Amino acid sequence: MENHQRLLEQLMTTHGGPGFEGAVRDVVVPQLHTYAHKVEVDVMGNVVACIEGRGEGRRPRVLLAAHMDEIALVVARIEEGGFLRVAQTGGFDPRTLVGQEVVVHTCGGDLLAVVGSKPPHLTAPEERGKAAPLSDLYLDLAMQESAVRERVRIGDRVTLSREVYLLRNRRLAGKSLDNRASLAILLETLHRLGQFVHQADVYAVATVQEEVGLRGAQTVGFAVQPDVAIAIDVTFGAFPGQAADESFALDAGPAISFGPNLHRKVFQRLVDVAERHRIPYQIELSQTPVGADANAFQVAGPGLAAALVGIPIRYMHTSVETGSYSDIEQCARLLAHYIAELDMEQVEDLSCY
């Protein structure tokens, strides 16, 4: 196999918000089966694939996780005329939703809808100066109210509709690159890992419900209790107007996070691996617990050595999230080398302070 880019494109156009990741899971599970004998789905819906390492006795256990869910909306009310009001499940900026095409997932199948907007002809100048809150937006199914009530139920989920656009320099744009890019990294890592002999047992995990509070990570972290838990998640691509320490260049390699809630020895090792293998990387600093699965991993059960890596993407939480496949490959190289070199001596050292 060349790489997983086509698969990423497929994943990006697959729909799966917090708590209904089934369609994404159906794409991911067969892919994991090509690398792992055992692939399980837990009570929450997390996918856990185990690839055993080589060697007798106690082997290092490393968990590598990317969340499957994307930010989504949920039907909260059906209004007169059959228009839908929605609530957040994940953090949309309502300003990016105006005029957006979306898919309403009903038990009878998917329906296309448009987020309505008032034409400029009818909008007073002072109205144009204000952003509409989510509660003012509505979804238009272009259907009679009775037909809508027949097909749509409160609680049905809504996701963005967006094709993938291939931009210059192996950059892709579309919806849910957050965090399908990291699922691609996970698979690319396993692909590369096949060429190494590794001691570590690798738990490749696709988590659920990250966007509503790192929920899948809490339970899978507790269940697996690995020696090292690495979350793969996207970070902020450089863009005018952002603080320097919150902006990471595209095509400059993965960002490796450093901060109080991440294990500094795992961080240091990842940096060393990048340096030795000439993998470009960037360092992201956090002062508070990170907003990614690594946060939950650190305090799961008895506490885990947590790390966070990921590629920068621009326009996070919009339908045109943009990132570079080269960064995905570099991140996978980093993780594959890290895992290949992980041994029990390093694991034991993680508790030495």
Partner 1 sequence: MLLKTLSEAFGPTGFEDEVRNVIRGELEGRVDEMKTDVLGNLIAVKGAAKPGPKVMLDAHMDEVGLMVVQICDGGADAGLLKFRSLGGIDPRVLVSKPVFIGPDRIPGVIGAKPVHLQAPEERQKPIPMEKLYIDIGAKDAADAKSVVKPGDAAVFATRYAEFGERAAKGKSFDDRVGCALLVEAMRHEVPYPLYGAFTVQEEIGLRGARAAAYQIQPDIAIALEGTVCFDVVGAPSHGQSTVLGKGPALTVQDAQTIADRRFAEFMWETAQRHGIPVQWRRVKGGSNDFGAIHRIGKGVVGGSISVPVRYIHAPTQVVSLDDVENAQRLLQAVLKEIAEGSFTL
Partner 2 sequence: MKEWIVRLAGEIAPSGSEGRIASVLLDAVQDLADETHMDALGNAIATKHGDGPHVMIAAHMDEPGVMVIDIDDNGYLRVIPTGGLTASETAFRQVTFTNGTIGLVCLEDGEKRPEQFDQLYIDIGAKHRQEAESRAFIGLSGVIGGSVTEVGNGRLLGRALDNRVGCAIALQAFRDLAQRGLHVSVVFTAQNAPGARAAQAAAFALEPDLAIVVDATPASDVPGGKRTALQLGAGPAFKVMDAGTVAPLAVKQLVEDTAHALGITLQYEVWPSGRSDTGAIQLTRAGILAAGISYPVHTAGAAEAMVDLADVEATLRLLVASVQAYRK
Number of residues that bind partner 2 (CB under 8 A): 30
Give me the residues that bind partner 1 (CB under 8 A), please. 243-245, 258-261, 263-264, 283, 285, 287-289, 298-299, 301-305, 350-353
Decide: 255 and 281 in contact? Cβ < 8 Å. Answer: yes
Binding residue (CB under 8 A) for partner 2 from 3, 23, 29, 42:
42
Please tell me whether residue 137 binds partner 2 under the rule CB under 8 A.
Answer: no
Which residue in 9, 188, 210, 284 is the catalytic one?
210
Tokens of 71: 């930010």
- CA 335 to chain centroid: 16
Binding residue (CB under 8 A) for partner 2 from 59, 192, 215, 314:
215
Tokens of 235: 């970070």
Q: How far is CA 349 from CA 41, 95, 111, 266, 275, in A?
A: 32, 48, 54, 10, 21
Strands 139-140, 47-51: pairing is unpaired
Please tell me whether residue 155 binds partner 2 under the rule CB under 8 A.
Answer: yes
258 binds, among partner 2, partner 1, none (CB under 5 to 8 A by kind): partner 1
Binding residue (CB under 8 A) for partner 2 from 44, 98, 249, 344:
44
CB 73, min distance to partner 2, A: 10
DSSP 206: E
Nearest partner of 343 among 224, 199, 201, judged by Cα: 199
Q: Is 246 a catalytic residue?
A: no
19 binds, among partner 2, partner 1, none (CB under 5 to 8 A by kind): partner 2
Decide: 30 and 11 in contact? Cβ < 8 Å. Answer: no
Nearer to partner 2, 6 or 77 (CB): 77
121 is in an annotated binding site: no
67 is in an annotated binding site: yes
Instruction: Give the neighbor-by-neighbor strand order of the sheet with 201-207.
Output: 38-41, 47-51, 201-207, 61-67, 228-232, 305-310, 255-258, 282-285
Nearer to partner 2, 46 or 179 (CB): 46
> Among all residues, which ones are annotated catalytic?
210
Give residues in contact with partner 2 (CB under 8 A). 18-20, 22, 42-46, 74-78, 87-89, 135, 153-155, 209, 212-213, 215, 218-220, 222-223
